[in-house]
Structure 1
């Protein structure tokens, strides 16, 4: 099984979804209650459906990961402590305690990021869009409700992010600016494939109760299609004015 689901498209936007799947390969035993695979610790709920719908609306290529982040978190650097989690939001993952770390990295992480790098080289997208979702509140610790409907994450390159935060707020959407967590800390895929290549990007987080059913998915596909088009066109105008 490939580590990447590929959707073809001709647009100058590339859509990525690091946490699209809760699949655990048959030869891997995480040692957990299977019910946990339906929780946010295993998958970004709704993110795959939004990514596919956005790809269809924009005619844009998309790459979606096909393995659960409980197996390996593809949006982490290879030396990150949480790359192969032993605990996630208070739930123990005992099957990850004695894994061959190098083998799992090579099998999933390296293959996934190699596919993205090849796509970026071939396509040279004007904008990369990374789709994630977040839970309304964490289960462990102090479960403070998260008020944002969406968040835009970024690290050093805020070109697209600044436009997106203002645009979403202008639509009456409660929007987090580097919330519910900061892209300066959790931005591995965009750091590698966007910031290192000089490609503008949108790191989009949607609260998962907003996209947990087809109606919510459709609404957010429309919102994001309009957002991405606005940001891409605005950046193109800025480039043209600078030449």
Structure 2
């Protein structure tokens, strides 16, 4: 992977002021050749390295549903773009019971300069140019963690910190379609909401942080189904916000 390819943006031509855009912080499992993580390569296909299914889901929303997208091109194991710079896990040394030996003693400032800061600077510029009325932050979650016995029965979760204005509408709308919806589940946006805290809440832009259970979007059929459902819900959320 070229070290300068930290993100990509697609369907910018469909941007309109007051419209909907997407961001996917954990869409990639790419690791630069000069950053040895010291892990079994098979782990790069697991949830500790990438939000499974999110890249395809986001691309469908951008290309099929005209929602411009800002998509990460580096694994969360290299630098977690959905963490604050001062978060100890921004360069994780463990994840769901797995040691990441190559990150122990890593040059944190180099990782931030190379990945985190360019990614967020570009996303800030993306939002300035697109002027959205709603941001969709897209993630997926594993049905279970290796380090926990907790069940995760939800099909989709809506996360939020202080501003739940869009999430409340989305929770209701997904529920009306018979979906098992998590309200600040499988984890709380009050504890981890870094990208939306920075780019949405701080700027007063409504947002939905959407977590889809990864087994539901692992293939193209699932991604197409969920992209259509999310696009429908997001459009109705935007209308509800405009009419408040």
Q: TM-score by structure 1 length?
A: 0.96
Q: 2:45 aligns with which of 25, 31, 38?
A: 38
How many residues were matched structurally? 237
Q: Say which of 152, 155, 177 aligns to 1:149.
A: 155
Which consecutive unaligned segments of at least 5 residues does structure 1 have?
A: 239-243
Structure 1 stretches of at least 4 aligned residues deviating more than 6 Å after TM superposition: none
What is the alpha-carbon distance in structure 1 between the residues aligned to residue 45 and residue 113 of structure 2?
26
User: Deviations for 1:8-30, whole angstroms, at most 9, x for unmatched residues?
Assistant: 23242110000000000011000
Q: What is the CA-CA distance between 1:237 and the residue it aligns to?
A: 1.6
How far apart in 2 are the matches of 1:99 and 1:147? 36
Provide the rounded CA distance (Å) in 1 between the counterparts of 2:210 and 2:31.
25
1:237 to 228, 240, 243: 243
Question: Does the Cα contact within 8 Å between 1:57 and 1:225 map onto a contact in 2?
Answer: no
CA distance in 2, matches of 1:228, 1:183: 19
1:53–1:221 CA contact under 8 A, matched in 2: yes
Partner of 1:86: 93
Partners of 1:72 and 1:85 within 8 A in 2: yes
**Which of the residues 169, 173, 181 maps onto 1:167?**
173
Q: Name structure 2 gaps, 5 residues minimum.
A: none
Distance in 1, Cα, partners of 2:93 & 2:67: 36
Aligned partners of 2:66 and 2:217: how far apart in 1?
21
The alignment yields a C-alpha RMSD, in angstroms, of: 0.8
Deviations 1:42-89 (A, max 9, x none): 000001110010112321210100000000110000011111000000
